[in-house]
Amino acid sequence: MINSIIIETLSDIGVPVAFQLYSGEASTYVTFHEYIQSGESYEDDEERYTGHYIQVDVWSKSDYSTLVTLIKEKLQSVGFNRQDEIDLMRRIPASIIKDYDFII
């Protein structure tokens, strides 16, 4: 369910979006995965709210700042809250990556 919400929400951002792995040829693309599910609220010893922690990675060989802003806006518009983000550089593949976490 969470995966389909993310894919549908980001379907019109202009780059491919894939769950976990992208196998296409685009030089800029987005991958995501859920890295933890956690009980966030309990009532009468029962879990009432589950937090879904999602890592979103923007892979690119060029400036991705506009794309990152668009992704944040779109995910926040459907209820996700951004937790943190970091710029990373990966040598294989030779890409700059924007890694950020959301919770819903």
pLDDT in tens, 58-82: 988 888 889 999 999 999 999 998 8
Please report which confidence band the pLDDT of residue 83 belongs to, taking 50, 70 and 90 as the band edges.
confident
Question: Could you give the CA distance from residue 36 to residue 33 in angstroms, rounded to a whole number?
Answer: 9
Among the listed residues 38, 58, 59, 52, the one whose alpha carbon sits nearest the alpha carbon of residue 80: 52
Query: Residue 10 is part of a domain; what is its CATH number?
Result: 3.30.2000.30
Question: Could you give the CA distance from residue 85 to residue 56 in angstroms, rounded to a whole number?
Answer: 9
Its sign, for the CA torsion 58, 104, 52, 38, is positive
**High-pLDDT (> 70) share of the chain, %:** 86
| pLDDT reported for residue 51 | 84
Q: What angle do CA 71, 74, 77 make, to 5 degrees?
A: 145
Tell me the average pLDDT across 82-96.
70
- Residue 47, token pair as written in the block: 């879990």
| pLDDT reported for residue 41 | 80
Domain residues for the domain of 80 are 2-103
**High-pLDDT (> 90) share of the chain, %:** 42
